[in-house]
Homo-oligomer: A and B are copies of this chain.
Amino acid sequence: TVNGDRLWQSLMDLAEIGAYDDERTGLRGVNRLALTDADAAGRRRVVAWMKEAGLAVRIDQMGNIYGRREGTDPTAAPVLTGSHIDSVATAGAFDGCLGVLGGIEVVRTLNERGITTRRPIEVGIFTEEEGVRFGTDMLGSAVAAGRLTPEYAHALTDRDGHTLGGELIRTGFAGPTDVRLAPPHAYVECHIEQGPVLAENDVPVGVVTGVQGISWQEITIHGRAAHAGTTPTHLRADAGLAAAQIIVHLRSLVDSGAYGDLRATVGHLIVHPDLTNIVPARAEMTVDLRNPDDAQMARAEEALAAFLRDLENSRPGLSLTTRRMAKTAYVPFDDSVQKVIAQAADDHALEHISLLSGAGHDAQEIAALCPTAMIFVRGEYDGISHNPREYSTPEACAHGVDVLATALLRLADQ
């Protein structure tokens, strides 16, 4: 078993980088958007910990960081673990960080025990997993796995027009290593569940069977600015109203039950000029759809597209455009790696269940390169995440990383 106190201490230390106090709730949150100064400071801290643990650190052209512990067979493909340390703007201490710091904690434990493995073990930190700064999630791992090109990724811009490429250079994390990752032997990622299933089933860890499909798009609505007092309702082309109708319609698609286990979220919404007595001329919004079934996802996307067409035709002066931000299909994880994880949990006498991931993870990208699966750690408060209230107990975190250590050891000696 790993050193749970040391793991916890590193989680709490990292959470101070980019920390903020939430006035309303009194909670302390984390805001470490990818490639901001806070993220760069977090990266420097974690790289220092990697080096202290004896890892050889390399940084690739996407700013993905890998720390390597050599095995006895230098020609053998490494076993990879890791996750991300970028966060959303209203995050907690655990999302991503548990996987990265858990990987480092495994290495520290192996070092203390003098354990050598046949295969090298590598700990990865992937860039912009959250996708909230540059608009595409699992970005660093998707480029490492070859699904997206570095050119596409480097040209992505944030809301202020900064490019990802420019921010990599600015923060000093534009590394020299080729971003295309040579296939590892296997990949295992430990992550908080970010949902209620483990708590509902009262088990500490989960074996993740796969990740549901994710569809992100941005919708821009052009209407016509007009005076709120004088413009008759029939002459309006209200971009804000159209946005609201889309949001309400999306919920009705979910509630209809006709699209399987669909989830729909409009997280980003702005109107312009955003003034009390002006009918909005323009609205911009994102639509985040999730579905474990690719066919149902396609049907839901078609239903949304049909609604957008009808909306555009319903009122002269309204026009809508959509832009694809991110799209991933349902990704099933490897059976044999799931078995290794389940066996590791059994070895630690930890109850476990199998479950599908609701969130996207770097593991789903690396799964294209090698046998992959994930370990989920139980969260409190319905598993709330992307919120300062996000919390997993020190015991739950240590249990997850114990399972990770045992699974990595087993895979590294294959």
Contacts and interface: CB of A to CB of B under 8 A. Distances in A.
A229 interface: yes
Nearest to A29: B225
A279 B251 contact: no
A136 to B, nearest CB: 10
A48 to B, nearest CB: 29
A325 interface: yes
B267 A288 contact: no
B229 A214 contact: yes
A231 B132 contact: no
B265 A228 contact: yes
Main secondary structure of the interface of A (DSSP, over half): loop
Contacts of A196: 232, 235
B273 A89 contact: yes
A240 B266 CA distance: 7
Nearest to A254: B233
Given A194-B227, A387-B225, A90 B244 contact: no
A130 interface: yes
A193 interface: yes
Interface stretch (A61-69, A172-180, A377-385): A377-385
Contacts of A357: 229-230
A360 interface: yes
A385 B195 contact: no
Interface in A219-248: 222, 224-233, 235, 238, 240-241, 243-248
Contact of A131 (B135, B266, B273, B276): B276
A88 B132 contact: no
Interface string A284-298: 001010100000000
Size bracket of the A interface = 35 or more
A309 interface: no
Contacts of A229: 194, 212, 214, 263, 288, 290, 357-360
Interface in A194-226: 194-196, 212, 214, 216, 222, 224-226
Top 10 A-B pairs, shortest CB-CB distance? A230-B358, A195-B230, A244-B247, A228-B265, A244-B244, A229-B359, A225-B387, A194-B230, A132-B275, A227-B385
19 contacts: A88-B273, A89-B275, A90-B278, A194-B227, A214-B229, A226-B384, A226-B385, A228-B386, A230-B359, A231-B385, A232-B263, A244-B247, A265-B278, A267-B273, A267-B277, A268-B275, A269-B269, A269-B271, A281-B387
Given A194-B227, A269-B269, 10 more contacts: A24-B222, A135-B276, A195-B230, A196-B232, A228-B263, A228-B386, A229-B263, A235-B382, A240-B247, A245-B248
